[in-house]
């Protein structure tokens, strides 16, 4: 019987998978988020840096929320959006802040991207907007032709910046207060929504890829089920495990697509969904590797058992090499 030896093979592999998940570091969110909420207080001096690959005409929303000012204080918020060609040009925030363009705008010389906030006990949330975008938005509402050309101009939301081309961008937010004695704290909310949603320009093709692959796996599953129904008298036990690989592949692509679609809709990644997708992907590759190996060794064809080779097959089919770290 084929099912019993395969079950003995899968049990050690699942044990190794659980061990790998236990000793491996936590998986970080691989897809780039579309919105962030960063706490900031008086003691923080480093500007906040957001980095992402964006589409053209991506709108960047900037809000200052959860303001806590026991005493009235004036807070100056400055922001700057910069495009650069090489994705790895700035590996740290210190390198980005040393750029001349960032220095110039963060010194307050660009009044269009700076606003002074009067914070007191009654202030809770403030939306920041670029004056040029505000004027263009009002003009776009009045001019129907411009609204059709750029539908974002007629949007009722207030935006702090907008991209003019595709590529990597950094968005720097600097918050300062001249009143050193006053205590204050706040949260900086930033969202980047493009023509296709919150998803990154580099990950938009991946979402389409997982959707197409999920459809292909569904088609393969239906074909396999149809052929199995036609030749059910001649089926071997190993062919049921092949059907399991097809099902796991369909589930893997569906979960990955759901993760990217979730980011595209909400701008926030779901770590649990991503870990589950990686787990299903690792189990699928492990099972497929084991099936190919035991068939190549002649099991079920010329050999009734694997014998001492079974441990080598289990070692080669270990899912530890399939666990991806971000």
Give the bridge partners for 197, in sequence order. Answer: 194
Q: Which of 116, 117, 119 is nearest to 108 (CA)?
A: 116
* One domain, residues 216 and 306: yes
CB atoms within 10 A of CB 256: 26
Alpha carbon distance 279, 81 (integer Å): 37
- Cα angle for residues 228, 231, 233 (degrees, 5° grid): 110
Q: Return the pLDDT at 22.
A: 39
Q: pLDDT in tens for each of the 326 residues of the chain?
A: 444 444 444 444 444 444 443 344 444 446 888 999 999 988 777 888 888 899 999 999 999 988 888 888 888 888 888 888 776 666 666 666 666 566 556 565 555 688 888 888 887 888 888 877 766 655 555 555 554 555 545 455 788 899 989 988 989 898 888 777 778 888 999 999 999 999 999 899 999 999 999 999 999 889 988 888 887 777 766 778 788 888 999 999 999 999 999 999 998 888 888 889 888 888 888 888 877 777 777 665 555 566 666 666 666 666 554 544 44
C-alpha distances in Å from residue 50, one per residue of 96, 171, 174, 234, 317: 11, 5, 12, 59, 40
* One domain, residues 48 and 69: yes
Q: Which of 82, 64, 34 is nearest to 175 (CA)?
A: 64
- Give the full edge-to-edge strand order of the sheet including 114-119: 48-54, 167-176, 73-83, 114-119
Q: Return the pLDDT at 144.
A: 54
Alpha carbon distance 323, 280 (integer Å): 11
* One domain, residues 11 and 136: no
* One domain, residues 241 and 304: yes
Q: Return the pLDDT at 113.
A: 80
Given a contact cutoff of 8 angstroms between Cβ atoms, the answer to whether 140 and 146 are in contact is yes
Inside any domain, residue 198:
no
* One domain, residues 152 and 40: yes
Question: Number of structural domains, the chain?
Answer: 2
Given a contact cutoff of 8 angstroms between Cβ atoms, the answer to whether 256 and 210 are in contact is yes
Q: Return the pLDDT at 59.
A: 93
Pick the last residue of a domain from 170, 193, 216: 193
Q: Return the pLDDT at 123.
A: 79
Instruction: Tell me, yes or no, if the pTM score tops 0.75.
Output: no
Containing domain of residue 245, as a range? 3-29+203-322
Q: Return the pLDDT at 229.
A: 85
Q: Return the pLDDT at 207.
A: 93
């Amino acid at each position: 019987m084929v099912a019993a030896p395969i079950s003995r093979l899968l049990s050690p592999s699942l044990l190794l998978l659980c061990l790998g998940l236990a000793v491996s570091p936590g998986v970080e969110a691989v897809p780039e988020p579309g919105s962030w909420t960063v706490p900031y207080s008086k003691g923080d001096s480093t500007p906040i840096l957001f980095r992402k690959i964006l589409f053209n005409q991506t709108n960047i929303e900037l809000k200052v929320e959860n303001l806590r000012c026991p005493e009235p204080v004036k807070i100056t918020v400055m922001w700057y959006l910069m495009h650069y060609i090489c994705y790895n040009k700035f590996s740290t925030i210190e390198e980005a802040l040393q750029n001349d363009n960032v220095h110039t705008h963060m010194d307050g010389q660009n009044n269009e991207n700076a606003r002074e906030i009067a914070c007191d006990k009654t202030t809770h949330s403030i939306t920041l907007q670029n004056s040029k975008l505000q004027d263009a938005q009002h003009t776009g509402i009045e001019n129907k032709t411009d609204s059709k050309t750029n539908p974002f101009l007629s949007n009722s939301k207030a935006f702090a910046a907008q991209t003019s081309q595709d590529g990597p961008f950094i968005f720097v937010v600097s918050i300062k207060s001249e009143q050193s004695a006053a205590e204050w704290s706040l949260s900086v909310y930033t969202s980047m929504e493009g023509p296709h949603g919150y998803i990154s320009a580099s990950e938009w093709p991946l979402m389409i890829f997982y959707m197409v692959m999920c459809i292909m796996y569904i088609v393969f599953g239906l074909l396999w089920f149809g052929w199995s129904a036609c030749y059910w008298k001649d089926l071997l036990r190993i062919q049921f495990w092949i059907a399991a690989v097809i099902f796991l592949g369909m589930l893997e692509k569906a979960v990955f697509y759901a993760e990217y679609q979730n980011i595209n809709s909400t701008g926030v990644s779901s770590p649990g969904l991503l870990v589950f997708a990686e787990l299903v992907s690792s189990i699928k590759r492990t099972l497929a590797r084991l099936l190919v190996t035991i068939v190549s060794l002649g099991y079920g064809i010329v050999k009734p058992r694997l014998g001492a080779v079974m441990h080598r097959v289990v070692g080669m089919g270990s899912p530890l090499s399939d666990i991806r770290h971000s």
